[in-house]
Structure formats: structure tokens, C-alpha cells
């Protein structure tokens, strides 16, 4: 959820500022870009050099650079972020935020921010319990700011109670969960298949196809980025998912893929069958390597179970099933026949006659056809963009 996100981290004058180093490291590790803005007092607790080294960006604490007179533009900083976290948020800074007092760069950036603002209070027990602090927190939340509640434990004063800043791991988890809850596919279970299947002839040979799995993996990544809980059933491929949250199940044959699909399909809100599953498999598999003969080799093939048709027959009301059709002739006719025969809600058509479409490449050109035979044709795009187009249509279908 944090991959590529731009996070403004505000650090206030508090003993808990030492935790900011770990927080920056965790955010960067999660793939976020982190811009640290410190109050002048915060620099007494942790050095800007430490946070700059960890964030790989300069740290700002003044309106301008004394050595050059260059202005640190608080408006640009406020507009830059996808989210702003103030951690630790001292009682002093929260009071300024609640009343609109701007006497340092951090509060100026806060007032300029257009993104969601999270704050993680850190202070002693009596300061935390004070009526003015609690009123300031209430006011900040009424403005739309999001409280990351403090923990309870031993405080710097020696007292024991509320006021400890949330741990960095808790802050990252809170931010991740909050972002995910706002995404269009949050709470949805999505099943995706990708890649080829290999049908064994003997221990060293197989029947397969040229599918790389790139399109299916791009779809799984896009669905995960939209908040879905994704299960990816992948045939033999070198592709790697971008998101660790994706549950990947590796299979080899069409029979293996069928078994896993039957296991996970019933719980899925939607299934996107992007895999290039073999239509035929050897009737018998030799236990030993078949030796070469001068008179050629005949292999008897039998049909594999049609996974897409099988799932279409089991599909319940409200469940969305998406199939793919890679054709070389009569493309739309064959795609519509497949859509209807296999009880699909959407079919993604691409043609090997279109330059840049098909297996292995990084681009694709698709046409989407739904149950009402509404057709949408897209230009040639990279597969990540194609995945986004498919997912926009999928979101629309899940809302019906």
C-alpha cells in the first residue's frame, strides 16, 4: 500500500523523536518516499543528519537556508505529499495545529497540506490528560485529521500511563490499513490465474505455450494496489509479484490449476482467468525419458478439463468471472461465443494480428466485451496500463 507513496513526516520536540529514525527506515523499506520536516526543538533530540541519511532526502526545519537564503516553500511541500504524519506530535504542536498558529515551518506545511494528516501524540501522562490537550485532539479530529492513539506504559518522567507515542511498526501498520480501507476493492477476495501450463510427456519433456505470465501478474499487482486480497495461481513463469500481500500458488499442469481454482473460487468475489491453460495433455506420461527413434514419435493427446467453463457453471449470483480470448481470426465472433458458452461476465479479447499484442511482450491491445455485449476497444498500452483498464471495468461489475 505504501509503494511509491509520498509521505511528509513531521517531527516535534519530544524524547520520542528518537523513534522517528526507525519510522523513516520502515516507511522507506515499504517503498515510500519520505520528506522529513522538523520543528527547531526537534533537532535537540535527533539530528537532521540521521533522518536525512535514512530518508535519502534533505531535512527541512527552517523557512529558508541561512547559507544561501533559499526559501523552503511550505506550500510546495504541503502539496507534495500523499499523506502527512506528525510523529511525535507534542502537546505544543497540537495546540498550534488546533488554533492555526504558524510560527515554524512544520505548522506552515500542515496548514498547506491537501493530503490526509495523521498525528501520533507523545507526552507525559498529566499533559495527555489535561482538558486543553483533549480538546485540541477533539478539534483536530473534527478538522479531518486522523489520530494514531498513544500507547500506555512507562514514560520519560517515570510515571506509568497513557502518552507513549505509538511504536513505529504500529504507525506504519495503521497508515497501511487506513489507506487500504479507502480503496475501491477493500474487503474483496480476488482470484487470478497467470502464465502457461506444462503438460508432461516424460520426466524431461512437456507440451506448453509461449505465455510469460506478464499480463496475469500485472493484473494481480493492480488488484492488490486497489485494496483487494489477491490469490494468484501461477503456472511456470519467472515473473515476480510487486506486492508481498499477494498469495501466490505455483502449479505446473492444467490439472493442478483446476484443483487450485476449485479450492479458491468459491470464496472469491471475482476471478480473472488470465492463464494460458493447455487444451490438450498427453493421454499417458512415460515414467522414463523417451529415447529417440529413427521412425518418429506419435503422442496421443486427450482434452483437459475446461477450467473457465467449470467455474462458469459454479458461479453464484454476484460473483464476477472474467476470461481472456487470444484469437487469430474471427476474433469478436469467437470471443462472444466464449463469453456466452462459459457464463462469463466479461471477456478480454486480444488478437495476434495486432502488433505488440499477445505473449511475452510488455504491451497489449485489448477489447472488453461484457454480458450485454457492450464493447470497449483500447489502444496499444503497456501491460500495467492494460491491467488498470480491466480493473476499472471489474470494479464497475462488482458494484452491480
pTM as predicted: 0.79
pLDDT confidence of residue 119? 97
Q: What CATH number does the domain containing 241 carry?
A: 3.40.50.10300
Backbone angles phi, psi at 50, to 5 degrees: -60, -50
Do residues 393 and 244 both lie within one domain? yes
Is residue 86 in some structural domain? Answer: yes
Q: State how far the Cα of 214 lies from the Cα of 235, in Å rounded to an integer.
A: 11
Is residue 1 in some structural domain? Answer: no
Going by the DSSP 8-state scheme, the letter that residue 358 receives in this structure is S
Cα–Cα separations (whole angstroms), residue 117 to 42, 112, 267, 358: 19, 11, 35, 44
Q: Is 342 annotated as a binding residue?
A: yes
Do residues 292 and 386 both lie within one domain? yes
Is residue 57 in some structural domain? Answer: yes
Count up the domains in the chain and report the number.
2
Do residues 141 and 274 both lie within one domain? no
pLDDT confidence of residue 360? 59
Q: State how far the Cα of 327 lies from the Cα of 118, in Å rounded to an integer.
A: 50
Do residues 196 and 76 both lie within one domain? no
pLDDT confidence of residue 68? 67
Q: Is 56 annotated as a binding residue?
A: no
Is residue 197 in some structural domain? Answer: yes
Residue 22: CB atoms within 10 Å: 15
Quickly tell me which residue has 461476465 as its cell. 345
Do residues 166 and 291 both lie within one domain? no
Q: Is 279 annotated as a binding residue?
A: yes
Q: Is 383 annotated as a binding residue?
A: no
Do residues 225 and 177 both lie within one domain? no
Residue 313 · residue 331 · CB < 8 Å: no
pLDDT confidence of residue 359? 59
Cα–Cα separations (whole angstroms), residue 357 to 49, 77, 214, 349: 49, 41, 12, 10
Residue range(s) defining the domain that contains residue 43: 6-181
- CA neighbours within 13 Å on the CB side: how many for 335? 27
Q: Hey, which residues are catalytic here? A: 209
Do residues 215 and 93 both lie within one domain? no
pLDDT confidence of residue 23? 97
pLDDT confidence of residue 356? 59
Do residues 232 and 135 both lie within one domain? no
Is residue 258 in some structural domain? Answer: yes
Is residue 256 in some structural domain? Answer: yes
Beta bridge partners of 210: none
Per-residue pLDDT of the chain (400 residues; tens, 9 = 90+): 788 899 999 999 999 999 999 999 999 999 899 999 999 999 999 999 999 999 999 999 888 776 666 777 888 888 999 999 999 999 999 999 999 999 999 999 999 999 999 999 999 888 999 999 999 999 999 999 999 999 877 767 676 767 789 999 999 999 999 988 989 999 999 999 999 999 999 999 999 998 999 999 999 999 999 999 999 999 999 999 988 889 999 999 999 999 999 999 999 999 999 999 999 999 999 999 988 877 788 899 999 999 999 999 999 999 999 999 877 788 889 999 999 999 999 999 987 766 656 655 788 889 999 999 999 999 999 999 999 999 999 999 998 7
Q: State how far the Cα of 62 lies from the Cα of 48, in Å rounded to an integer.
A: 12
Do residues 145 and 262 both lie within one domain? no
Contacts of 374 (CB under 8 A, 6+ apart): none
Q: Is 289 annotated as a binding residue?
A: yes
Do residues 69 and 165 both lie within one domain? yes
Going by the DSSP 8-state scheme, the letter that residue 304 receives in this structure is P
Q: End of a domain among 181, 198, 227?
A: 181
| Strand pairing category for 346-351 and 320-327 | parallel
Beta bridge partners of 33: 6
**E strand or H helix that includes residue 128:** helix 125-129
Do residues 17 and 124 both lie within one domain? yes
* Ranges of H-type helices in 289-382: 307-314, 331-341
- Can you read off the three cell numbers belonging to residue 272? 480473472
Q: End of a domain among 181, 198, 225?
A: 181
Do residues 370 and 354 both lie within one domain? yes
Q: 286-289 long-range contacts, Cβ below 8 Å, gap at least 24?
A: 286/201, 286/202, 286/203, 287/202, 287/203, 288/202, 288/203, 289/202, 289/203, 289/204, 289/205
Residue 177 · residue 146 · CB < 8 Å: no
Nearest to 84 by CA among 143, 129, 163: 143
Q: What CATH number does the domain containing 171 carry?
A: 3.40.50.1950
Q: Calculate the CA 342 to chain-centre distance.
A: 30
Is residue 238 in some structural domain? Answer: yes
Residue 81: CB atoms within 10 Å: 24
Residue 207 · residue 281 · CB < 8 Å: yes
Q: End of a domain among 157, 181, 205?
A: 181
Amino acid at each position: 500500500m505504501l509503494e511509491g507513496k509520498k509521505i511528509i513526516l513531521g517531527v516535534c520536540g519530544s524524547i520520542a523523536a528518537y523513534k522517528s529514525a526507525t519510522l523513516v527506515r520502515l516507511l522507506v523499506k515499504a517503498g515510500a518516499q519520505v520528506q522529513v520536516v522538523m520543528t527547531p526543538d526537534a533537532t535537540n533530540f535527533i539530528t537532521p543528519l540521521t533522518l536525512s541519511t535514512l530518508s535519502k532526502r534533505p531535512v527541512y526545519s527552517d523557512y529558508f537556508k541561512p547559507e544561501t537564503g533559499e526559501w523552503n516553500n511550505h506550500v510546495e511541500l504541503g502539496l507534495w505529499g500523499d499523506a502527512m504524519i506528525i510523529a511525535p506530535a507534542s502537546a505544543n504542536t497540537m495546540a498550534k495545529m488546533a488554533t492555526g498558529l504558524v510560527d515554524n515551518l512544520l505548522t506552515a506545511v500542515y496548514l498547506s497540506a491537501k493530503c490526509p494528516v495523521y498525528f501520533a501524540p507523545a507526552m507525559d501522562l498529566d499533559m495527555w490528560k489535561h482538558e486543553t490537550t483533549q480538546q485540541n485532539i477533539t478539534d483536530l479530529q473534527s478538522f479531518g485529521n486522523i489520530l494514531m492513539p498513544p500507547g500506555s506504559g512507562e514514560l520519560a518522567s517515570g510515571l506509568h500511563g497513557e502518552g507513549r507515542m505509538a511504536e513505529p511498526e504500529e504507525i506504519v501498520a495503521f497508515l497501511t490499513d487506513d489507506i487500504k480501507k479507502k480503496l475501491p476493492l477493500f474487503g474483496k477476495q480476488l482470484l487470478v490465474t497467470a502464465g502457461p501450463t506444462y503438460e508432461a510427456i516424460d520426466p524431461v519433456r512437456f507440451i506448453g505455450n509461449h505465455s510469460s505470465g506478464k499480463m496475469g501478474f500485472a493484473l494481480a499487482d493492480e488488484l492488490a494496489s486497489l485494496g483487494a486480497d489477491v490469490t494468484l495461481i501461477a503456472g511456470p513463469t519467472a515473473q515476480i509479484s510487486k506486492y508481498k500481500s499477494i498469495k501466490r500458488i505455483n502449479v505446473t499442469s492444467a490439472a493442478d490449476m483446476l484443483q487450485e481454482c476449485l479450492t479458491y473460487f468459491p470464496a472469491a468475489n471475482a476471478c480473472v482467468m488470465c492463464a494460458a491453460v493447455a487444451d490438450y495433455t498427453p493421454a499417458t506420461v512415460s515414467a522414463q525419458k523417451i529415447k529417440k527413434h529413427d521412425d518418429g514419435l506419435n503422442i496421443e493427446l486427450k482434452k483437459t478439463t475446461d477450467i473457465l467453463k467449470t467455474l462458469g457453471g459454479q458461479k453464484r449470483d454476484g460473483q464476477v468471472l472474467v476470461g481472456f480470448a487470444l484469437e487469430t481470426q474471427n476474433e469478436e465472433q469467437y470471443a462472444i461465443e466464449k463469453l456466452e458458452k462459459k457464463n462469463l461476465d466479461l471477456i478480454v479479447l486480444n488478437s495476434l494480428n495486432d502488433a505488440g499484442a499477445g505473449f511475452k511482450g510488455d504491451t497489449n491491445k485489448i477489447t472488453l466485451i461484457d454480458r450485454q455485449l457492450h464493447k470497449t476497444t483500447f489502444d496499444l498500452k503497456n501491460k500495467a496500463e492494460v491491467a488498470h483498464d480491466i480493473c476499472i471495468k471489474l470494479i464497475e461489475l462488482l458494484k452491480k
